[in-house]
A and B are shown apart, each in its own frame.
Chain A
Amino acid sequence: MKSTAKVGMENSRACGSERQVVMMKSHVGMIALLAGTLAATAGCNKSDSGTSSTSTTSGNAAANPNSGDKPAEAMTGGNSTVDLVNKTDTELKGKTIAYLPVAMGVTLMEAWWHEIQAGADFSGMKSSVKDPNWSTQAETQALAALIGEKPNVLVVHNPNVQLLAKQLEQAEKAGIYVIQVNMVSNYKTDAYIGADWIKLGEQMAGDLVKQCGTGSGKSGKIQIIQGELTSATSLDQMKGAKPIFDKDPAIKIVSDQAANWDATKAHDITATVLQQNPDLCGIYGFWDVMTLGASEAVKSAGLTGKISVSASGDGARAACDGVKSGAFTTYYSYDAKQQGRDIIDTAKLLLEQGKTPGSGHTALYSPIEVFTKDTVKDSQCFDVTIKK
């Protein structure tokens, strides 16, 4: 089964000139080149050539973790249940998935990792993580290393839309499936899993306008706390939120600053904003962990409950607690646990479908659940243990 599938990949790759170029680039040994050429000739002559020789595959498999589209037979995996199980086994067992978040030690990234690990273990896949600990420098280095290691699937969390763009392209060219989570790059890859930030921005801004805008009787003063300005999360939320705020003349954006995902910075900014605007109506935080710093400042100013604090986040235990304690007035959960499941499932799907890495873009946008003090239930939040 295994060999059939692989040889199938060989053939289709050699027919397309683009794949040939990729193969030349990626330091394949002479034998692999020869083998590829042989298989190519065979494959181009016959349209369904899933049964040619088995010995020519090893070189290419090593150079390119996921090579090319599969013929129809390999995709369907025969007719019986046993066949299907065997087929999946072959396609997943021993495959590697590497995970590169901007940092670990945060429930959001830990929850994803937990699900990736569990899902990989279940299918006999190998999983690994590298932790750049918020350093973009370290993250580019780690990504370079991962491209060298050639896992089958790479899960990347982009600190900004530009930083890793070239490397992601490089990874796909090296034959790696690339899945981006929550913060997408300017370079779009095989899959994106995460919130639809533009829509979320519209939703959150809309809710705030309802609470603070025309007819609410409030001051209409809104503070926006962005994350890293250059990240997709910040850029896209602004894209969604800005027009909504602009539409209501009663809304005044009194502060729009970036706290770079840092709670301390958010706290300091908010403390200053509150001194200048004690009648602040709403705070729009781009991430829950960071916004908790703002909530602290609100609490210190004795304004808890008077200022509407909105933030989005993973929906872990701290989210429910925060809503209950009044730290968040409205919380928008994109359910990181479910996102983690989406990540690993997408990875498996990519592996099973066997399309050429970089041949298409898919996205799974996470549904948003809204928590307020009145509606929140403990069961809505999940627990994740952070392993050190």
Chain B
Amino acid sequence: MSATTSFRQAYLRARYRFSLAQVVAELLQKRWMDALVPFVVMVVVVTTFTQLISGYTDVDNLINTGREFGEFGFLVFALTLVVIGGGIDLSIGAIFALCDLVALVCFVHFKLPLVAVIPITLIAGGALAAVNGILIGFLRTRAFLTTLVTMIIFRAVFDILGQKYSQELMSGTPENSTWEWLGSGSLLGIPSNIIALVIVAIVGHIFLSRSRPGWHLTAIGAGRRAARHAGIGIEWTLFWTYVGSGVLCAIGGLFYAARLASAGSDTGLNSEIVAITAVVLGGVSLGGGKGSVGRALIGATTVLVLTNGVVRLGVVGGMSSVVLGATLLLAVAIDVHWAKHRHKAIAKLYVVPTYLALPPGQSTDEGPFKPNQRLAKSQAIGLDMVDGPEDCIIDRQGRLYAGVRQGWILRFSGPNFENREVFSKPGGRPLGMAFDKDDNLIVCLAGMGLYGIREDGSVFKLSDETNRSWNKINDDSRLRLADDLDIGPDGRVYFSEATIRYEIHSWATDALEGRGNGRIIEYDPRNGKTRTIIKNVLFPNGICMSHDGKSFLFAETWKHSISRHWVEGPKAGTTEVIIDNLPGFPDNINRSSDGKYWLALVGMRTPSLDLAMRFPDFRTRMVKEIAPDEWLFPNINNGCVCKFDDAGNVSESLWDSGGTSHPTITSMREDRGHLYIGGLYNNRIGRIPLEGSDPSWNGVESYWGKK
């Protein structure tokens, strides 16, 4: 019987250990997943046409198509740059045509050397676009109308100049090997303009994703007002964006001039429309703030293969525009749908329950866990003046510190702690606290990491990242939810990160997974290094150095267990479970004056959740099918404080069984004959006298001795 049970359990554990849904959900969260639909569309289009058209993938054909792609690619880049900044540029086709003409006139009419022709052409492109830049950036005209007007003007200039020079230009170009190479040369079989495009793409990618101006541009596109408030110089950034876009058009025009030497009246005509199609097909949001060089390339490839393919198939006349339009419509529809439902899909897929069978908890009907009212009559400190003191701590002088929801550390002093002051405002969500040997207050700030606060209230950073795991899709190098810490005699800080999959506001959802999403991390101040020492822990929470300083104890909330991890001595580096059957969810652990440890139980176990934890499919269905407020959650309404020794034996517990003063108890500290009670959602810090305890004992001295 027991053999079958354990086999079944082993099977279930194995089966639910890896989840495809989790992989999908975490992948979906990635920023680059925005490009998924465009990418799929591209693959479908390319595959379709390579199947339909024989010889489409021949080297010759690829080179020929590549040449077309090069010039078009520059136009798409030009537009992408502007669109990311929240604008649009309808004049790119006209600028392209004018630059083509400028290059030809310089080269053929004025017979200038190439060293002059190339810069003149690029400057011409930048100067033309600077008109847009000044109007849109400084005079704040609307991008659409402005560039529509400049498009018409530039086009007219092109027509007039074209009439003047075309006859001469059409008589042929002077011999020049470099010019020839620009137009039809290649390096290792790669067409010249593609080489240029690749270089520009790499530079552009670094610019957009790694440089300050690039981020400024994205910020402006995402929210102009917010960008202004953040102190970004919008005028100049936009101006240079348009100039950059013009230069990109000019590069395209230059290659076009070299390749075809043609200044026909329809040069670049309607190319802005095709470029817009490419940009949208690539998933660059026309609303601004979203886009990348990669997406521009995806869009450009799709459009080019599509138009080119339709022409090659010999489809009659206007049909190619129809096909292009229809594809655009379809892609936009899918993209909108995708953008709208992606978050819903993530929400449905993100919670991935696994099989978790745990030993039954100790009885609360009798024995040390029998409920009582010892906490009910606590003295309330800072009543209604604190918002969720998750942890509290008392310094050498007897002043009480508590971290609250606003991201502040409050300090209470005076005979009855009636003086409330904001000690420091480090930000984040302050959780666990400890004093180091220099009396700095070290705090776990959820959303930020591990920070220290000096006696004057100034804040310094200890660590906000650890080593990244190679096999996790979620980037786990950043600290998301640093929870509690303690400090070893050598100064090493051990702290828990409860989960790498959820933020502080949804921490309880992690319970539904029953998965080891948390970790224990060590920060060594001697070399400033941070490293993960225990992985895959089930919501590690409280951490406390043992009285001898050779090991630390940590609580795993969803596993109802306390474990010991050795940091010194023969067992250093090993972990052992000392309690595995708590009747509730363990939270913070702290030393008591009698050589034992205090433990807060944030809530008590319920048979229903215990049962549900053995049925992952049930929980999956629950998460997918009903609203979150109807989910079966762990009970974190009412818990207690208990005391256990190094062997894991629980000796007593303190309750406020109605939960009127102390629901959701997350921490407690013993100090000078009193016990202080903190709660994540409470409006006070409780204080009760501890009969028979050492009235002079306090936590800081227990760690660092008298000063």
Contact of A162 among B61, B65, B163, B262 (CB under 8 A): B262
Interchain CB contact under 8 A, B170 and A162: yes
Interchain CB contact under 8 A, A144 and B318: no
Tell me the residues in window 80-115 of chain A with beta carbons closer than 8 Å to chain B beta carbons: 103-105
Contact of A258 among B263, B265, B321 (CB under 8 A): B265
CB distance from A356 to the nearest CB of B (A): 20
Which single residue of chain B is at the shortest CB-CB distance from A129?
Answer: B314
Contact of A145 among B59, B271, B311 (CB under 8 A): B311
Interchain CB contact under 8 A, A161 and B170: yes
Residues of A within 8 A of B307 (CB): 137-138, 141
Given A105-B317, A186-B170, A260 contacting B64 (CB threshold 8 A):
no
Which single residue of chain B is at the shortest CB-CB distance from A387?
Answer: B316
Residue interface bits A223-249, CB-to-B below 8 A is 1, else 0: 000001110000100100000000000
Residues of B within 8 A of A260 (CB): 265-266
For B, the interface residue count at a CB cutoff of 8 angstroms equals: 41
Tell me the residues in window 169-217 of chain B with beta carbons closer than 8 Å to chain A beta carbons: 169-172, 183-184
B555 within 8 A of A: no
For the residues of B in contact with A, the DSSP-based class is: helix
Interchain CB contact under 8 A, B58 and A148: yes
Given A105-B317, A132-B311, A229 contacting B166 (CB threshold 8 A):
yes
Interchain CB contact under 8 A, B260 and A166: yes
CB distance from B314 to the nearest CB of A (A): 5
Residues of A within 8 A of B68 (CB): 137, 140-141, 144
CB distance from A72 to the nearest CB of B (A): 35
Interchain CB contact under 8 A, B267 and A136: yes
CB distance from A10 to the nearest CB of B (A): 23
B113 within 8 A of A: no
Interchain CB contact under 8 A, B60 and A27: yes
B320 within 8 A of A: yes
Residues of A within 8 A of B317 (CB): 103-105, 131, 133
CA–CA, A129 and B312, complex, Å: 10
B663 within 8 A of A: no
A142 within 8 A of B: yes
CA–CA, A131 and B317, complex, Å: 5
Residue interface bits A136-154, CB-to-B below 8 A is 1, else 0: 1110111011011100000
B124 within 8 A of A: no
B641 within 8 A of A: no
Interchain CB contact under 8 A, B65 and A144: yes
Interchain CB contact under 8 A, B266 and A166: no
A388 within 8 A of B: yes
Given A131-B316, A133-B320, A166 contacting B184 (CB threshold 8 A):
yes
Interchain CB contact under 8 A, B311 and A160: no
Interchain CB contact under 8 A, A148 and B262: no
Contact of B314 among A130, A136, A238 (CB under 8 A): A130
B595 within 8 A of A: no
B261 within 8 A of A: yes
Contact of A228 among B265, B311, B320 (CB under 8 A): B265
CA–CA, A105 and B65, complex, Å: 27
Contact of A235 among B65, B170, B266, B315 (CB under 8 A): B170
Interchain CB contact under 8 A, A141 and B264: no
Residues of A within 8 A of B221 (CB): none
Interchain CB contact under 8 A, A230 and B265: yes
CA–CA, A140 and B304, complex, Å: 13
Which single residue of chain A is at the shortest CB-CB distance from B263?
Answer: A230
Interchain CB contact under 8 A, A229 and B163: yes
Residue interface bits B253-276, CB-to-A below 8 A is 1, else 0: 000000111111111000100000
Interchain CB contact under 8 A, A162 and B260: yes
CA–CA, A235 and B171, complex, Å: 10
Which single residue of chain A is at the shortest CB-CB distance from B64?
Answer: A144
Residue interface bits A270-296, CB-to-B below 8 A is 1, else 0: 000000000000000000000000000
Interchain CB contact under 8 A, B311 and A162: no
CB distance from A201 to the nearest CB of B (A): 14
CB distance from B155 to the nearest CB of A (A): 12
Interchain CB contact under 8 A, A144 and B61: yes
B308 within 8 A of A: yes
Residues of A within 8 A of B262 (CB): 136, 160, 162-163, 230
B167 within 8 A of A: yes
CB distance from A282 to the nearest CB of B (A): 21
Residues of A within 8 A of B183 (CB): 166
B55 within 8 A of A: yes
Interchain CB contact under 8 A, A133 and B314: no
Leading 10 A-B pairs by shortest Cβ distance: A144-B64, A133-B317, A162-B262, A160-B264, A163-B262, A145-B312, A229-B166, A230-B264, A161-B170, A148-B61
Task: Please list the residues of chain B having a beta carbon within 8 angstroms of any beta carbon in chain A.
Answer: 53, 55, 58-61, 64-65, 68, 159, 162-163, 166-167, 169-172, 183-184, 259-267, 271, 307-308, 311-312, 314-318, 320-321
25 contacts between A and B (CB under 8 A): A131-B316, A132-B311, A133-B321, A136-B266, A137-B68, A140-B68, A141-B307, A142-B311, A142-B312, A144-B64, A144-B65, A145-B53, A145-B308, A148-B58, A162-B170, A162-B172, A163-B260, A163-B264, A166-B184, A228-B266, A230-B166, A230-B265, A238-B167, A258-B163, A258-B265
